[in-house]
Every structure is written in C-alpha cells, then in structure tokens.
Amino acid sequence: MAAKLPDGAIVSLYVSYDNPVPIDDISNSSLPVVTCNNSFVVNDVLIIKSAWSALNDRVVVVNSATANEFTFNGIDTTETNIFPVGAGYGDAIKISSPETITQIMGFSTNGGDQQYVTYSYLEQNFESQMPTVFSAQSLTLEIADDTSQSGYQALKFAADARGTRALKLAMPDGSAIYYNGYISLQESPTVTKGQVMMVKATVSLLARLTRI
C-alpha cells in the first residue's frame, strides 16, 4: 500500500507537433508492437491516430525501437473485442517542446465516470443496469494570473487556435499521466479582495488518459 502527495508535480503543455508517420499494424499485446517505417527513439512521446477507437488520439511513450518497429507502454491491447485484430493501422505523431505551466494553484478533473442504461423487462418488478460509455472528461487548471509566464502564453496560443494539445502531469515519484484535448482559457481573472487573482484553463479530453 502507498499514498502519494502531488506536491512538486510539474504540468507541461506540448507545443511542437511533427508530421504524421503511417502505421501499418499494431499487435494485440500488453506491450503493443507497432509496425512502421520508424524514426522514433526510446522515450519519444507520440499521439496515436488509429482505427482502434479505444487507442485513437491517446498519448503514448516509446518503450523500445528498431528500424521497422517500436513498442509503447501504458496501454494494453490484448482484448480483441476492443482492439480488433489487424485494425490498429493509422498514424503516429511525435510531439515535443513541452512548455511548463507554472503557478498552478488548483488542478481538478471532471467527468470520466462510467454511465449506465437502466432497464426492466415487462415481467420483472425490479430494474437492472448495464454499462454504456464513460462520460466526457475535462481538466481544470487554476493559475495565478501572470501574463508574462511562457506557460500562460502557450495556453493562450492553443486556446486561440482552437486546436488540440497534449498535457503531461509529471509526478514527484517519476510516474506521469498524459492527456490530450481541446484547450480553453478564461483570461478574465478572479478579483476578490485579499485573495490571489487567478485565471482558469480547461482541457476537454478527446480520449482516455495514459498512465506511465
């Protein structure tokens, strides 16, 4: 058993995106093997575009690499009902130049809960539930208001572009959580006497997070 404190965690926004590299196939395994004309190296961070909806738009980290293959960790693709054999093709996009977002005073998540459909047969006098989808998930960052910070400017650029960006939460123990989504920034700060002025950034996730 272990308990963690987030104190000292670093949040970064990836600002550089390379051209897509075509993926021919991804294996069904706990450490997926990606077949492609590979130019990636160990610890490269990628966004995967895949016909597998459960993998599409997720962030992965290269675990090993050769000229024609690479592997990534954090996502298990062994379940063929979720990851159909032969349908993992798509693209890999290398992302880099993470810009650290400083002066974060609050980090919270919203949504991401399992949803259920409730039903009952005509002959029953009770209801049952069946799992459906996970609800939409978002992150909210409360940041001390300082427009001179490079992290603030990176968030503003991403929000103005109305594009997607990947985000990394690096924990003090060396683990990391990766997110990918649309960025929005509420530039009007909170103004309360005697309290630190803050702005709020939101990341509306495109896909499920990846933990490494």
Domain limits, the chain: 16-96, 100-211
Q: What is the pLDDT along the chain (212 residues), one digit of tens a residue?
A: 778 899 999 999 999 999 999 999 999 999 999 999 888 999 999 999 999 999 999 999 999 999 899 999 889 999 999 999 999 999 999 999 999 999 999 999 999 999 999 999 999 999 999 999 999 999 999 999 999 999 999 999 999 999 899 999 999 999 999 999 999 999 999 999 999 999 999 999 999 999 99
Question: Is the separation of the CB atoms in 178 and 104 below 8 Å?
Answer: no
Which homologous superfamily does the CATH classification assign to the domain defined by 16-96? Ubiquitin-activating enzyme E1, FCCH domain (2.40.30.180)
- Residue 188 has a pLDDT of 96
- Residue 4 has a pLDDT of 87
Q: Which of 138, 94, 89 is nearest to 112 (CA)?
A: 138
User: For the whole model, what pTM was predicted?
Assistant: 0.93
d(CA 206, CA 162): 13
Give me the DSSP letters along 17-43.
EPPPEEEEEE-SSSSPEEEE-----TT
